[in-house]
Structure 1
Amino acid sequence: MTRVLVLYGTSEGQTETVAERIGDVLEAAGHDPTVTHVLYRPESLRLTDYDAIIVGASVHGGKHQRYVTRYVKKQVDELNRLPSAFFSVSLTAAEDTDEARDRARRYVAAFLAETGWNPDETAVVPGALKYRQYGTLKRFVMKQVAKRTSEDSDTSREYEYTDWTDVESFTTDFVGSLEKSSAR
């Protein structure tokens, strides 16, 4: 049984939801996942206690959470030594255009370049519009963005764009690479 640490950073909770789904898929595949927020991880948590690591962060204003970036920079040697994967959650990934998909991939490339991390797998995951969790200013700004890119501007509800099949495929692909490397 492979011990897999799933660390995440989130602002409105969608990245946490994705991380939990990844944990469920890992567990269903017979692995031992630990899912925890980067900021609220137990002090006793050590990357060396795990066989593989998955990190997730969301994009706001074109960048991933600073605290996730700092953590990855601090742990980059261990992350590069272990089998690892990174998933990036953003609304940009929800836009159905080549330009948006390229921009979402550039966010990942910039994060990896800044941190020096070379994960075995990466994924770009469409996020969610969580209007009810936003303050007045952010709700207004996000509504204006949504009007330009979709019809989803009713601020009395939330919109989820995450493709759960893709999240599960990302996880099973990573599990497959773990199983292949442990069989060697």
Structure 2
Amino acid sequence: MNVLILFESVEGQTQKIATFVADEVSKLGHTSTLANAEETAAVTFDSVDAVILAAPVHQRRHPRKFEALLAGFVGNLAQCRTMLLSISLSAAFPDGLEEAGEYVTEMLMRTRLKPDKTLLVAGAVRTSQYDYFATQVIRHVVMRGREYDASAGEHEFTDWGAISDGVRAFLNARV
């Protein structure tokens, strides 16, 4: 099976996740093509059997350019089995899962995308990527009331086993 992995990354965690997914696809005996949505000229759906999409959530939504790309490719995506990985800090906490799901619902309404499977993926705190304002938003808004030590710096919440299991289930599902 030929699998296209189309992603957009803001701080690097989604790219790390997309690369991990490509490795998982290969381990399962399939061919993977990794494509950064920022380089849309390289995106082709020729001979693609399945697509795995991955994008982060910042300020309550996925990147606008990524959403525009999906809306533009919605016809192509409808011809393939499609999985969406939505990466957010909200997905890292049980009390944030509903909100993380809302981010996906809103994006699907805007793009008209209808993925066969959706996986809410916990992201990471990348303090080296943040300015003062972003650091304060993370500390006092996003992570408020949650178990996280802001003085600890970088922290990855991503559950790699859950991603591996989700990708395997998606690729092994019968159409």
Corresponding pairs, count: 174
How far apart, CA to CA, are the structure 1 residues paired with 2:58 and 2:132?
17
Selected match of 2:146 from 135, 149, 164:
149
Question: Distance between the aligned counterparts of 1:37 and 1:89, measured in 2?
Answer: 15
Give the 3 Å change call, closer, same or farther, for CA 44–93 of structure 1 in structure 2.
closer
Distance 2:154 2:91 in 1: 17
Partner of 2:159: 163
Unpaired segments of 5 or more residues in structure 2? Answer: none
Q: Secondary structure of the residue that 1:86 maps to in structure 2?
A: strand
1:59 aligns with 2:57: yes
Q: 1:129 aligns to what?
A: 125
CA apart distance, 1:11: 0.9
Are the equivalent residues in 2 in contact too, given 1:12–1:130 (CA < 8 A)?
Answer: yes
Structure 1 partner of 2:12: 13
Q: Answer whether contact 2:55 2:63 (CA < 8 A) is retained.
A: yes
Partner in structure 2 of residue 94 of structure 1 = 92
User: Secondary structure of 2:114's partner?
Assistant: coil
Indicate the RMSD between aligned Cα atoms, in angstroms.
1.4
1:46-84, Cα deviation, whole Å (9 max, x unpaired): 113311111111111111011110000000011011111
Find the aligned partners of 1:74 and 1:162 in 2 and give their Cα distance.
29
Structure 1: unaligned runs, 5 residues or longer? none
* Aligned-residue offset at 1:44: 4.4
Aligned residues with identical type, % of pairs: 28
Conservation of the 8 A alpha-carbon contact between 1:3 and 1:52 = yes
Distance 2:129 2:149 in 1: 15
Distance 1:85 1:8 in 2: 12
CA distance in 2, matches of 1:106, 1:141: 20
What SS does the aligned partner of 2:73 have? Answer: helix
Q: Give TM-score, length-normalised by structure 1.
A: 0.89
Per the alignment, in what secondary structure is the counterpart of residue 60 of structure 1?
coil
